[in-house]
Amino acid sequence: MSNPLRVGLAGLGTVGASVIKLLERQSTALASRTGRAIAIAAVSARERGRERGVDIAGFQWFDDPVAMAQSADIDLFVELMGGDEGPARASVEAALGAGKSVVTANKALLAKHGMSLATLAEKQKVALAFEASVAGGIPIVKTLREGLAGNEIRRVYGILNGTCNYILSRMELEKLSFEQCLREAQRLGYAEADPTFDIGGFDSAHKLAILTSLAFGAAVDAEAIHVEGIQSISLADLEAADELGYRIKLLGVAERSEHGIEQRVHPTMVAKSSAIAQVMGVTNAVTIDADAVKELTLVGPGAGGEATASAVVADIADIARGIRSAPFGLPVALLGHVARLPMQRHEGGYYIRLCVHDRPGAAAAIATRMAERQISLESIMQKGRGGRGVSTGAPVPVILITYATSETTIREALEAVVKDGYIAERPQVIRIERD
């Protein structure tokens, strides 16, 4: 058997501690599967004496992760600190520069510096592995990069943030407000004290940038993604979606279109009959549309110590076997550039909720504005009118579902509706993702 693979682990939070436990628990099996023992040789974290539920006394300690990354006492550097700059970036660059392979779970680092890091890994002929960076325990990176290498990908989309899926699931099932569900997510540790990164869609965008690169042979560029969060979703929207046969999910979507590769993160209506609509709570799911396998959906835990550690250890095992793939599926020089496509070019169905003043001519005026722009309506639903059908003049919700049309057309029609003065508040618009 070959010499042991000596691992330097930077970051001893929930995931780091779980990696240590998993490597210890599966040490014999991993040695048999890879042909060599895998051993933690050194660790680094901000606080040495903190209780973590694992014994680190037998590992060499480094206060500075960069020094550990360059140490001759390790063969592989595992970065679990997080952040797109600072110690995470410095130590990963140091490890690659020293000719050591790197395993990371850091989607923010990859979304911002993935191309430069992959270039450095190629130059040094070492591995840069990041299965844990997207969708936790779901093996989506290897699926796209290796498992579907013989397929042409048409679309990849999914629930990439468990916090948002938890909030939307609880709002729907328990009829709670967004604010109530967010507070509960924070109490349970699913959301940070400042939840903007999650609920604003930015976490999903970082992950989608990585998936887009793997699926379409494109350079990672999170700035090319249109991003919307879930802050505007109300219980009224969820109830209307349910009545119409849909669920609302925050999706990250990348797909080929006649204009190029469209990348977007936003709340989306999905048919309740679809596989992705069944995914509730903090679970993640990714669906791939490809020419050979048609549709493939992977579902699993998107976060948590054990699930994320599983993905980290899978990458460690590959490196122990001597496997080294191009990080993003192709050499960096062959990765194409994906320009940001304005959402105005998006085409699809739309859910529109209008708060309409209940007075004569309002509905006809709205229908006229839609017809003027050749927007075909699949359904119209009006609720809340006064008893016996009597107009009260008070605003009532009117729900429109359109057939496929363009974002530009929808926005122009709604701008005209607003100017007509028949609606009491800003229209709510949610895109519909068809199967």
Which residues are known catalytic residues? 207
Residue whose structure tokens are 């909030």: 167
* Number of Cβ atoms within 10 Å of the Cβ of 81: 23
User: Kind and range of the H or E element at 72?
Assistant: none
Alpha-carbon distances of 283 from 135, 166, 198, 308, rounded to whole Å: 9, 8, 14, 13
CA angle 128, 129, 135 (to 5 degrees): 145
Rounded-to-10 torsion of CA 173, 178, 183, 188: 40
Rounded Cα distance between 142 and 147, Å, is 6
Rounded CA separation 99/109 (Å): 19
- 98 in Cβ contact with 34 (< 8 Å): no
Radius of gyration over every alpha carbon of the chain, rounded to an integer in angstroms: 24
Q: Are strands 294-301 and 405-406 parallel, antiparallel or unpaired?
A: unpaired
CA 237, chain centre distance (Å): 22
Q: List b or e across 384-418, with b for residues whose CB sees 16 or more CB atoms inside 10 angstroms.
A: eeeeeeeeeeebbbbbbbbeebbbebbebbbebbe
Contact criterion met (CB below 8 Å) for 42 and 16? no
What is the C-alpha separation between 101 and 112, in angstroms, rounded?
Answer: 19
| DSSP-based three-state secondary structure for 98 | coil
Q: Please, what is the Cα angle at 294 between 292 and 296, to 5 degrees?
A: 115
CA distances in angstroms from 202 to 129, 251, 265, listed in the order given: 22, 12, 8
Q: What does each C-alpha distance from 173 to 169, 185, 234, 297, 302 come to in angstroms?
A: 6, 15, 13, 23, 21
**Which class for 238: exposed (0-12), middle (13-18), buried (19 or more C-beta within 10 A)?**
buried
